[in-house]
Structure 1
Amino acid sequence: MTLAAAARRDPLPPAWLLLAGAIPCGLIALPMVYVAVRAWGVGASGVAEELFRARTWELLVNTVTLATSVTLASAVIGVATAWCVERCDLPGRRVWRILAALPLAVPAFVASFAWASIDVAFQGMAGAVLILSLSHYPLVHLPVSAALRGMDPAYEDVSRSLGRGPWRTFTGAVLPQAWPALGAGALLVLAHMLAEFGALALLRVQTFTTAIYASYELQFDSGSAALQSAILMALCLPVALGEMRLRQNLRFARSGRGGRRDQRLAPLGRARPAVLLGFSALTALSTGVPVGMLVYWLVVGRSGGRGLADLGAAIEGSLSLALPGAVVVTLLALPLALASTRHRGALAKIADRLPYVVHGLPGLVVALALTFFAIRFAPAVYQTVALLFAAYAVLFLPLAQSALRASLELAPPGLEEVARSLGKGPLAAFASVTLPNVLPGLGAALALMTLELVRELTATLLLAPIGVTTLATEVWSRANDGQYAAAAPFAALLVALSAVPVYVFTRRSLELDDF
């Protein structure tokens, strides 16, 4: 936002905006309140006993090992692939750009079930690191690719003029400029690993998320689940805050004005066959194996056809939750985005940053918190879609807020000022002037939320009303029972739904670059 636009911000949000923003802020605070209340109820002795259990330390080591290993592997793969497709004379660069992003179309728990169905050797920590790294490296690849495309090559020219070779130029001139994008992508992968449940349950890896589920759903031990949630929250909060700070400071600067200068492509030389082989192997492992196993189980699986009778109900359940859930999350995010883009002061900062504080928390923790408060204070909403939509809001508000904020920052605040000078109130001015200008952002937020909610597993697994199933829960439940062929139709539909937006987004980014 420009300085002039920032100067036109109102000092305080109006009363209607404060009331509207209080609802999502209250929901966001519930997980933290829940953990504090449950820990207080267990008492100091119970907390100490849980903290110093051998099982707790085992879970901590497993969680940290998995998260750091997948993050490092994803960062290495993401940077390497981004550099090759953006800055090297790699044959078929446009095709490899699309193929490098396609693993995002396969949800992690679908990829895990596909690999686990090959052989039990892929279950365990080593298999989880391999499979989840292949699934999540695009989260690093995409922002680093964007950074490389937007960099000013003048810095690299200066480095080479000083006699530095390709490696020193990369580490000294390129990598520092790409660091914000690399850091943001790596922190996003780390947050996903701390929150991952479905894939780890299928791969038989014990972390805090799987232990929380077992404590609550299988052993009915909510106290132990709450304390494990507190430890996991302590791991997640620094990651979420770091991701928020990097995203706020994410800028790709250029030293000069005017048209963008084309980047000079580095020749691969003798390494070209090896690089092409590496890209082919990466695509085969990250996308080919999961898709191939889905086709295999659809064709030859013994349990094939057993789930087809439930396919219609799962599709109906997914859409009946995802479509209205996307509307609810987007509407709850709108006052927060308005407050952060149109107003100043502490309240505006809270509205801008609070959703990111709990971003990355596992859906299990959010579900436990909402269940706890619903049973004690609002039993009428327990086992209803209202409670599930509240969980969706806590988990996905930052994504909706980002999509809305991009459009709101492009809508001139001066238009609202003109409307208010003609006698309209703040709410009427927003509805008649600003809202029509931000409809594209609303549409983008709704589309993004719908895709995310169709794929969401953990909160839906715990909070969906009895009898309501989705594509994601059917995949998990059937694959968890070893019925891989029965799970394949549901998984294939999830992949098909996810592949379309990933492909369209990647193609659009290529077209914008050409323009």
Structure 2
Amino acid sequence: MPAFSDLDNRSARRPWLVVVAAVAVAVLVVAPVLVVFGQAVSAGTAEAGRLLFRPRTAELLGNTLLLVVLTVPVTVLLGCGAAWLVERTTLPAAGLWRTLLLAPLAIPAFVSSYAWTSVLPSVHGLGGAVFVTSLAYYPFVFLPAAALLRALDQGHLDAARSLGLSGLGTMLRVVVPLQRPAVAGGALLVALHLLAEFGVLQMMQYPTFTTAILQQFAVGFSNAAGSLLAAVLVLLCLGFLAIEVPLRGRARIARLGPGAGLRPVAHRLGGWTVPALGAVAVLAGLSVLVPAVIVLRWLVRAADSGVIEAGPLLAATGSSIGLAVLAGLAATLAALPGAWLLHRYPSRLAVGLERVTYVASALPGVVIGLALVTLAVQWARPVYQTAALAVAAYTVLFLPRAMVAWRSGLAAAPTELVEASRSLGVSGSGTFTRVVLPLVLPSALTGFVLVFLATVTELTATLLLAPTGTETLATAFWSASDELDYVASAPYAAAMIALSAPLTLLLRRHILDQR
């Protein structure tokens, strides 16, 4: 990649309408963060020092960092290991395992937590939190890693071996650099989710900044302690973003033409076939089968006891689908300008605008929700208590999912094809529609599906921003589970799983099956 000093010379050729759109998205994302810092500053230096430099804050910081430090490597190990077994070995029934290993995306993390704690109350604390979040979030790494391994050209590997590299050397010099952007992006998503996770940690009784923020804001948004803790979360997010940049590397993924078009030669497992099958079976069983069976068991009890009310269940399902579709479209479109600038016109400005989209996602939904309520009441009162404000919150929270998807898709779209199209007189919009869009459409669909799945299961922001009288599957589930009414919770948990499962299969089809 050229130096930024060289890249900045291309600023005259930037499409300024795209720049304006990217800046507008960045403003939307930054606005809630500025509200949080404004509330924190209002506490004053003395009060801020008293609240931040106390044993409880140090404990929360340690708990939050420990959760991230333990969980992210586990998800990377599980995701990359499973991807390698499925895509690069002779593992039997690989297609079935692809589906099962993506299936945790269809089961919300707090539903998995509800399932495990309902049968094993001993699963709690740090160990329980790492266990449940690792099983819930490893698909964020597995999905991009498997997609790139599946698309890997055997010709590259053969060329490396012909130059004298060993199998391990080929892996380190060829495969790993190509995998770094996808794995780093997946790991970043996991880390940001952990910073903002509430449902799982509340059920596991593991205090972090997020659970403490919810407790502080319970007494009112004017409480500066909650804003100060939220500001610390933003700083942690910025730290993770800084770490991810060198980790993803600068390896070029896109290429011109199909190359040799050779499918990767699968490594024969031989005597390791049974252990490999056992490993993926255990992973799929713990992350999918156990939670699904437990939810089904409670659902049967709910049906037998007659507590399932079709009217509220259908209403909550309709509300969830409507909000999720709007949020998926909004986030996917909002992420495009920044991703396009970073891909076609890389510069400090483009990197800054792309990085900004991740900042607010580290905050709990309740913080973003309360910040948007403040902004709406002061500056846009007509949108208060409307679906538009809820969709804005979802867009801010889940924009990184769409951004990572766009970035991955655009990385596989050679800039030379764009330049060739423009040299033939095709306009910028025409080039995007006829050349770029067909190449990146699967990635765009992935971003939409990921945002849709996240919106269906979003809890805290929805509790604040859903229009009056509107209840979603997540809020209805939480209302019942918060009272330990597992039977009443089961229909809403089952509905979320049933709603998410087809989209997970769609992800498999568009990301893995077409590679």
TM-score, normalised with respect to structure 2: 0.83
Contact 1:315 1:470 in 2 (8 A): yes
Does 2:513 match 1:493? no
- Secondary structure, in 3 states, of the residue corresponding to 1:153? helix
Q: Deviations over 1:37-86 (max 9, x none)?
A: 12221111111111122211111111111111111211222222222222
Q: Deviations over 1:294-316 (max 9, x none)?
A: 11001124876255442122122
Q: Which whole-Å CA distance do the structure 1 matches of 2:471 and 2:101 have between them?
A: 32
Alignment-mate amino acid for residue 187 of structure 2:
A
Segment of structure 1 superposing worse, 377-386 or 103-112: 377-386
Alignment-mate amino acid for residue 283 of structure 1:
A
Alignment-mate amino acid for residue 190 of structure 1:
A
Deviation of the 1:244 alpha carbon: 5.9
Deviation of the 1:249 alpha carbon: 3.7
Contact 1:99 1:283 in 2 (8 A): yes
- Work out which of the residue numbers 369, 372, 376 in structure 2 matches 1:367: 369
Q: Deviations over 1:243-296 (max 9, x none)?
A: 466668464489998313343433333332222222222211110011101110
Gap runs ≥5 in structure 1: 421-428
Cα distance, 1:167–1:228 mapped onto 2, change above 3 Å: same
Number of aligned residue pairs: give it.
498
Q: Which whole-Å CA distance do the structure 1 matches of 2:256 and 2:332 have between them?
A: 37
Contact 1:241 1:356 in 2 (8 A): no
For 1:272, the equivalent position in structure 2 comes to 273
Q: Which whole-Å CA distance do the structure 2 matches of 1:262 and 1:59 have between them?
A: 48
Contact 1:20 1:335 in 2 (8 A): yes
- Secondary structure, in 3 states, of the residue corresponding to 2:454? helix
Deviation of the 1:209 alpha carbon: 0.9
Alignment-mate amino acid for residue 127 of structure 2:
A
Q: Deviations over 1:226-257 (max 9, x none)?
A: 00001111111222344466668464489998
For 2:133, the equivalent position in structure 1 comes to 132
- Secondary structure, in 3 states, of the residue corresponding to 1:496? helix
- Work out which of the residue numbers 310, 313, 325 in structure 2 matches 1:311: 313
Cα distance, 1:447–1:273 mapped onto 2, change above 3 Å: closer
Q: Deviations over 1:389-442 (max 9, x none)?
A: 22122123344456667589789586799588xxxxxxxx85x88668888747
For 2:89, the equivalent position in structure 1 comes to 88
Deviation of the 1:170 alpha carbon: 5.2
Q: Which whole-Å CA distance do the structure 2 matches of 1:280 and 1:26 have between them?
A: 45
Does 2:153 match 1:157? no
For 1:458, the equivalent position in structure 2 comes to 460
- Secondary structure, in 3 states, of the residue corresponding to 2:119? coil
RMSD between aligned residues: 3.8
Q: Which whole-Å CA distance do the structure 2 matches of 1:356 and 1:484 have between them?
A: 35
For 1:104, the equivalent position in structure 2 comes to 105
For 1:426, the equivalent position in structure 2 comes to none
1:45-60 alignment, distance < 5 Å: 45-60=46-61
Q: Which whole-Å CA distance do the structure 2 matches of 1:437 and 1:395 have between them?
A: 30
Deviation of the 1:328 alpha carbon: 3.7
Q: Which whole-Å CA distance do the structure 1 matches of 2:338 and 2:176 have between them?
A: 34
1:139-178 alignment, distance < 5 Å: 139-149=140-150, 150=152, 152-154=156-158, 157=161, 174-175=175-176, 177-178=178-179
Q: Deviations over 1:132-190 (max 9, x none)?
A: 1111112222222234331632376369x57x6x6677567654553443333222222
Q: Which whole-Å CA distance do the structure 1 matches of 2:173 and 2:450 have between them?
A: 37
Contact 1:451 1:498 in 2 (8 A): yes
Alignment-mate amino acid for residue 275 of structure 2:
A
Q: Identity across aligned pairs (percent)?
A: 38
Q: Which whole-Å CA distance do the structure 2 matches of 1:380 and 1:512 have between them?
A: 45
Contact 2:83 2:142 in 1 (8 A): yes
Q: Which whole-Å CA distance do the structure 2 matches of 1:153 and 1:479 have between them?
A: 51
Alignment-mate amino acid for residue 386 of structure 2:
T
Q: Which whole-Å CA distance do the structure 2 matches of 1:104 and 1:384 have between them?
A: 28
Does 2:75 match 1:74? yes
Cα distance, 1:182–1:402 mapped onto 2, change above 3 Å: closer
Q: Which whole-Å CA distance do the structure 1 matches of 2:231 and 2:353 have between them?
A: 24
For 1:423, the equivalent position in structure 2 comes to none
TM-score, normalised with respect to structure 1: 0.83
Contact 1:11 1:345 in 2 (8 A): no
